[in-house]
Amino acid sequence: MAEIHFTLKKTFGNARVGCLWTPRGEIRTPAFMPVGTAATVKAMLPESVRETGADILLGNTYHLMLRPGAERVASLGGLHRFMNWQGPILTDSGGFQVMSLSAIRKIGEDGVHFQSHIDGHDEFLSPERAMDIQRLLGSDIQMVLDECIALPAGEVAVENSLARSVRWAKRSKIAFGVQAGRACFGIVQGGTVPRLRQRCAEELIAIGFDGYALGGLAVGEGQAAMFDTVDATVPALPAERPRYLMGVGKPDDIVGAVLRGIDMFDCVLPTRSGRNGQAFIRDGTLNLRNARHAESSEPLDPQCGCPACRQFTRGYLHHVVKSGEIIAAMLLTWHNLTFYQDLMNELRVMVDEERSDSWALCWKAGNSSRADE
């Protein structure tokens, strides 16, 4: 089986266009990964997700280990067959979810003891177990287990967490071993302290990974601090490896991060927003609950080719959102995921053609509520 490798095709400033080659297909970068946490992208069929232009999905170790269980997924043919997605899949290791979802947890050098948010059952996740779960799931890109602490935090606490994350990364890499056709990414931690981020990057590079993610951001530090952290970290990462900014997905965050040299993104925002009546368009965002849309015969976005825009009016979408109809979540999620893939394609074209007039750049300074104030 062919190995996963990254090809950097072109740069424009710090922005990059490339391709992450996998046996299951090419991942065009910059890339946005729709989130299929529990082996499904909410309100979407797999073929519908593919029609939006997505090359890769994200699944999650924490959620899948709790339900239905990695061993069960493996017995049913692995995650790709289980969820009927034949393209590449990246699985997060579960470190963030342990922090954000488990009310009771105890972190030690061996790993994390925690209670399931589903039924309160005692669970344990170690670097080795996280990699074993991802091996059973059969994901194409596996993430190391890291300790993700809430920000703001004192520098000593951040440094201690970073050191443990590096030790866990070494153990994760050993546990990953050699898996033909699969890749293992390290996760750079260090809070918003530049020297700690740079130190972590150097130590992970010494271990050696197929790609490098920036974790522990978009957790309340604010966009300016996040971008400052990206600016401080990216120069320390190898140019020949993909760079992944974890859990970051507002359009203006994505555009700003692409301009700073990031290649991969994931976020629940487009799907969650779709289930809550919000649509992303080139002019900003629309709240379809707003009464001003009730009698509108306009399409959601005349430049979008998704079914919500081609087949329905804003008036209809307002009606099904207000009525709580399931089709509202389906149509708006499909639209939002299409918008995100259109945005990523526009960013790739921007770099390839060295364009400074791209419509994507209107999101650079923040644009998340301009259309419906």
Is residue 92 among the annotated active site residues?
yes
**Cα separations in angstroms, 125 against 45, 73, 110:** 31, 18, 9
User: How many C-beta atoms surround the C-beta of residue 243 within 10 A?
Assistant: 27
Among candidate residues 92, 140, 210, 301, the one labeled active-site is 92
Answer yes or no: are the C-beta atoms of 140 and 4 closer than 8 Å.
yes
Q: What is d(CA 118, CA 120) in angstroms, rounded to the nearest whole number?
A: 6
User: How many C-beta atoms surround the C-beta of residue 102 within 10 A?
Assistant: 18
**Cα separations in angstroms, 235 against 10, 169, 197, 202, 216:** 17, 21, 11, 11, 18
Three-state DSSP at 369 gives coil
Q: What is d(CA 207, CA 186) in angstroms, rounded to the nearest whole number?
A: 9
Helices (H), the chain: 46-51, 61-66, 70-75, 79-83, 95-101, 127-137, 155-176, 194-207, 223-233, 251-258, 269-275, 307-311, 314-323, 326-353
Among candidate residues 55, 210, 253, 266, the one labeled active-site is 266
Q: What is d(CA 84, CA 54) in angstroms, rounded to the nearest whole number?
A: 14
Answer yes or no: are the C-beta atoms of 64 and 40 closer than 8 Å.
no
Enumerate the active-site residues: 92, 266
